[in-house]
Amino acid sequence: MSEPAARQLTYAEYRALEEASDAKHEFVDGEARAVSGGTPEHARLQARMTTLLSLALANKPCEPFSSELRVHIAATRRSAYPDVTVICAQVEHADADPRAATNPTVIVEVLSPNTEADGRGEKWAHYPTIPSLRHYVLVSQHRPRVEVYTRTDLGWHYAEALPGSTLTLSAIDAAIPLDELYASRLGG
């Protein structure tokens, strides 16, 4: 006997769930999917990227936000909690969700075994529909490697940064040395 299909949530029901919950959930196709905690390496890379972006963006009109910021993707009715989000100028909020931003310029996802397929697949299918998005950055948790997709007049351009190189985010005039991103102060 098959299980009955789960009832689809409305976006208003999802928002009410988020307001009442201590856990975070992403909204995907009418479902609230719990966002699990990451590994120490994931958390370190997320924190380092936020710090390095903060330093690179000092005295500029863009600001990085942690994974506590919910991003609403209006075109596909999805909400997500990227690992790092950079917004330039003022945060614009979704009509359907005043606590969610709609205008990221940069989205960063740290890839782990549990999140890599989603970061390269489903999230990548949704994020490019955000008109303000200029860079989608994938940070490898397993080796020093960062991939960046940059929106151009001709579509999305792919580049990668490896040890000894610099991650360049032209839309926000920021450069992140990969060796600094992957440096560990704890020696391991």
Instruction: Report DSSP letters for 137-185, one per residue.
Output: EEEESSSS-EEEEEEETTEEEEEEE-TTSEEEEGGGTEEEEHHHHH--T
Q: Give the DSSP letter of residue 29.
A: T
Residue-wise pLDDT for 34-49, tens only, equals 776 678 888 899 999 9
CATH class of 39-182: alpha beta
The neighbouring-strand residues paired with 169 are 174
Q: Give the DSSP letter of residue 74.
A: G
Residue-wise pLDDT for 76-95, tens only, equals 888 899 999 999 989 999 88
State residue 113's pLDDT score: 73
Nearest Cα neighbor of 30 from 17, 39, 43, 20 is 17
State residue 11's pLDDT score: 76
Q: What are the strands of the beta sheet with 62-65, ordered from one edge?
A: 62-65, 84-88, 104-111, 135-140, 146-152, 155-161
State residue 184's pLDDT score: 75
State residue 6's pLDDT score: 61
State residue 182's pLDDT score: 94
pTM value is 0.86
Q: What is the pLDDT along the chain (188 residues), one digit of tens a residue?
A: 455 456 787 877 877 777 887 777 777 777 777 776 678 888 899 999 999 999 999 999 999 999 999 999 989 888 899 999 999 989 999 888 899 999 999 999 999 777 776 767 678 888 999 999 999 999 999 899 999 999 999 999 999 999 999 999 999 999 999 999 999 755 54
